Structure 1
Amino acid sequence: MNLIIFLLIGALAGWLAGVVMKGRGFGVLVNIVVGVLGAFFGGWLLPKLGLSFGGDMGLFITAFIGAILLLAIIGLIKKA
C-alpha cells in the first residue's frame, strides 16, 4: 500500500512540475514518470542539503522539488 501511495504522490508531483516548468515538460505520461523518479532523486538529494520533510505532504514536496530539478536537468541536456 505504501508503494501505491508513493507512486501516486510521485505522479501528481511530476504532473504539477510539468505544469510549473512550461516549455520543459514532455507530456503528461513522461512528466508522471519524471515525478516518480524525482521522488527518488529528491529523497536522495534534499537530506544531503540538510532539508527533510516528514509525512505524506513532505513526500509530495520532496517529489515535486526532485521532479522540477530533473525536468530542468533534462531540459539543459536536451538543448545541448
Structure 2
Amino acid sequence: MGILSWIIFGLIAGALAKWIMPGDDPGGVIVTIVIGVVGAVVGGYIGSLIGWGEVDGFNIKSFATAIGGALVLLFAYRKIKG
C-alpha cells in the first residue's frame, strides 16, 4: 500500500480505536491520526510475526489488525501520559 493509503487507513483505524476506547486524551485529531498510522504499522508487524500473514491491502483482516494496533498504542499512550 502507498503512503496515502496508510494515512487514510490509519485515520480510520485511529478514529475507530478512539470510539471503541473513549476517554480524555491529551492529544487531538493529529495525535489520533498518528496513533492510527503507527498502530496500523505495528499491528501489521505483530500480525506477521504471529503468523496472520502480511497486511497487504484494504481488507477486513488488515483493517482489524490496524485497529488492534491502534488500540494497543492508544492504551499505552494513556498510561504514559497519565
Does 1:56 pair with 2:58?
yes
**Structure 2 unaligned blocks of 5 or more:** none
Q: Quote the residue 1:77 is aligned against.
A: 80
RMSD between aligned residues: 2.1
Equivalent position amino acid for 1:48 in 2: L
Does 1:35 pair with 2:36?
yes
For residue 28 of structure 1, report the CA deviation from its aligned partner.
2.2
Distance across 2 between alignment mates of 1:51 and 1:10: 19
**Structure 1 unaligned blocks of 5 or more:** none
Q: Which moved more, 1:65-74 or 1:18-27?
A: 18-27
CA contact (8 A) 2:7 2:33 kept: no
Percentage identity across aligned positions? 38
Aligned residues: 79
Distance across 1 between alignment mates of 2:42 and 2:64: 12
What is the TM-score of this pair, normalised by structure 1? 0.79
Matched ranges for 1:11-30 at <5 A: 11-23=11-23, 25=25, 26-30=27-31
Q: Deviations over 1:22-79 (max 9, x none)?
A: 1154322211111001111111112222323653123322211110000011112222
